[in-house]
Chains A and B, each alone.
Chain A
Amino acid sequence: EADIYQTPRYLVIGTGKKITLECSQTMGHDKMYWYQQDPGMELHLIHYSYGVNSTEKGDLSSESTVSRIRTEHFPLTLESARPSHTSQYLCASSRAGGDYTFGSGTRLTVV
């Protein structure tokens, strides 16, 4: 049973549109993460947060932004989508020293 939820599951959107990918968790985890993954490829960390009002950029540069106003919610926003943003976006959460719980992902296609 998933305790971390990502919506939408699939999104096809035109170039230049603003989009927000939602991620919510009900486990009270302080740490949350966004990864970008192309099919069959490795995960790239693009953003992470260690608590409310704390956000940091990850290892892979991304034009997206994130916010963490509530513990359970960690949305990712693209102000102006481009075809190069086409990818799968995975959200995860964890406690310190523990395992990560992943959402099912959002597969984004920008046309």
Chain B
Amino acid sequence: SQQGEEDPQALSIQEGENATMNCSYKTSINNLQWYRQNSGRGLVHLILIRSNEREKHSGRLRVTLDTSKKSSSLLITASRAADTASYFCAPEPGHGNNRLAFGKGNQVVVIP
């Protein structure tokens, strides 16, 4: 499957703690993207990391990419209640249709 597969699928943490999510995929990629979805809404793009990059930061977000292990992680530091959402990773395959392949998502609950 070209889909990203997130782990864990559900995560519950206290406000102020860090949240780490992992994503694995199976094919070569051009880039890998992370998205966030609040309940009942559309997805919002968070960060894109290209296949030749190993780490990327955006505010409280840190994304790593290990193409040798075909895995990525998303770290949210100092979590807030407003971070409660589902987080999806989406690898863009390096061949074929180049369409993003969304996984099932990580459901993160931040308890105030």
Contacts and interface: CB of A to CB of B under 8 A. Distances in A.
B54 interface: no
A48 B99 CA distance: 10
B41 to A, nearest CB: 6
B105 interface: yes
B106 to A, nearest CB: 12
Among B43, B98, B102, B105, find the residue whose CB has the most chain A CB atoms closer than 10 A: B43
Interface in A30-48: 33, 35, 39-43, 45, 48
A37 to B, nearest CB: 9
A96 B88 CA distance: 20
Interface size class of A (residues with CB under 8 A): 20 to 34
A49 B107 CA distance: 30
A102 B41 CA distance: 9
B99 A105 contact: no
Interface string A74-111: 00000000000000101010001111111111010000
Interface size class of B (residues with CB under 8 A): 20 to 34
B92 A97 contact: yes
Given A48-B99, A99-B33, A99-B48, A42 B104 contact: yes
A41 B104 contact: yes
Contact of A102 (B43, B105, B107): B43
Interface string B7-45: 000000000000000000000001101010000111111
Given A35-B102, A99-B45, A102-B35, 15 more contacts: A39-B40, A40-B107, A48-B99, A88-B40, A90-B42, A98-B48, A99-B48, A100-B35, A100-B45, A100-B90, A101-B45, A102-B42, A102-B43, A105-B41, A105-B42
29 contacts: A6-B42, A39-B40, A40-B86, A40-B107, A41-B104, A42-B3, A42-B102, A42-B103, A42-B105, A43-B88, A43-B102, A48-B99, A90-B42, A92-B42, A97-B30, A97-B92, A97-B98, A98-B48, A99-B48, A100-B35, A100-B43, A100-B45, A100-B90, A100-B100, A101-B45, A102-B42, A104-B41, A105-B42, A107-B40
